[in-house]
Amino acid sequence: MQTYEQELQQAKEFLLKHDDYLIVSHVQPDGDAVSSTVAVGWLLSRLGKKFTMMNEGVIPNRMKSLWHAEYIINMSEQPPQRTFTNVICVDCADFERVGRTKQYFTEDAAIVNIDHHPTNNRYGAINVVYPEAAATAEILFDLLNLFDIEWDIDVATAVYTGLLTDTGGFRYSNTSPKVMNIASTLLSYGVNGPKIAEYLLEEMTLPQLKVLVQALNTLHITSDGKVAWVHITPQHMIDSGAVSEDLEGIVNYPRNIQGVEVGILFKQLNNGAVKVSMRSAGKVNVAALAQSFGGGGHVRAAGFRLEGDLEDIMSKVVEQVRRAL
């Protein structure tokens, strides 16, 4: 087993040695996924390397101000005409998380897997997997520091954004002393912390508020008060005018009820599948639960997707969570 430092070193050598990279993150990318994608892109641009950034779907509007985020190809809209041999996957706990972007990896592609999920199954040729990191962006902070390049405000803002979003605004239990030290360093590089927090964590669009109201109207809680859940249907999305990224954070509402151990958001997708997000107050390892349903994540924040009827899935999942309690 290699140390984290050795893994970083291997990734560094790989980046220096090759050229023409593809950078991908997970389906329905969050703040850490987009930040990590552009941070790797920024590094490669500084190294004078050719690179392409891609995701299976759309980049959240709120992330579009990050450095070169507008150049992240949405492969569902602009399918690339070629394949790539050197692939860097960021924030993807398993190979399935890259979604359909894998169509553009060559058979013999060399994958660098950079991630912080404890459920990561080390699917890369090179794996920089460090579950102690609060965000994949934290790993990128360490990686970038191995190179002889000067930080600028663009990349500092990206790394700060990944840290901020994956720690829930420096509040969750993954907010380690190291996270605060990195944040401090990034602020000293000129990052506008309050502005980013206001934009990403405070400000809401009207559809976002409307869809929150609709979700809260579906609230259920078990008789012992330990499991609470809400759901969203395609009709809720239409009525509120919300988009996928507007659901970010809703799962915290059932979780935040006093006495609740696990909060769940069930999002019914148009194609008869359900996306499940789980948050734990600490007693239940939701990563393990999510894994038993084919997903993954962190001890306190995890998710998965199931095909089937919403009501069936809700009762099945709630039953499993109750058993884990």
In angstroms, rounded to a whole number, what is the distance separating the alpha carbons of residues 121 and 124?
9
| Pick 268 or 277: Cβ nearer ligand 5GP | 277
Which residue in 62, 226, 255, 298 binds ligand 5GP (CB under 6 A)? Answer: 298
First to last CA, the chain: 33
Residue 158's alpha-carbon distances to 141, 161, 186, 214, 287, in angstroms, are 10, 5, 10, 32, 26
Which residue in 90, 196, 296, 300 binds ligand 5GP (CB under 6 A)? Answer: 296
Residue 82's alpha-carbon distances to 37, 56, 87, 102, 106, in angstroms, are 20, 15, 13, 12, 9
**Piece of the chain touching ligand 5GP by CB under 6 A; list 90-98, 202-210, 212-220, 308-316:** 90-98
CB of 166 to ligand 5GP, least distance (A): 8
CB of 105 to Mn ion, least distance (A): 21
Q: For residue 318, which of 282, 281, 286, 271 has the smallest C-alpha distance?
A: 286
Which residue in 75, 87, 301, 317 binds ligand 5GP (CB under 6 A)? Answer: 301
Q: Does the protein bind ligand 5GP through residue 304 (CB under 6 A)?
A: yes
Q: For residue 320, which of 276, 282, 272 has the smallest C-alpha distance?
A: 276
Q: Does the protein bind ligand 5GP through residue 118 (CB under 6 A)?
A: no
Q: Does the protein bind Mn ion through residue 91 (CB under 5 A)?
A: yes
- CB of 48 closer than 8 Å to CB of 20: no
In angstroms, rounded to a whole number, what is the distance separating the alpha carbons of residues 50 and 53?
10
Kindly identify the residues of this chain, within the stretch 238-277, that bind ligand 5GP according to CB under 6 A. 277
CB of 278 to ligand 5GP, least distance (A): 7
Residues that bind ligand 5GP (CB under 6 A): 93-94, 97, 117, 119, 277, 295-298, 301-305
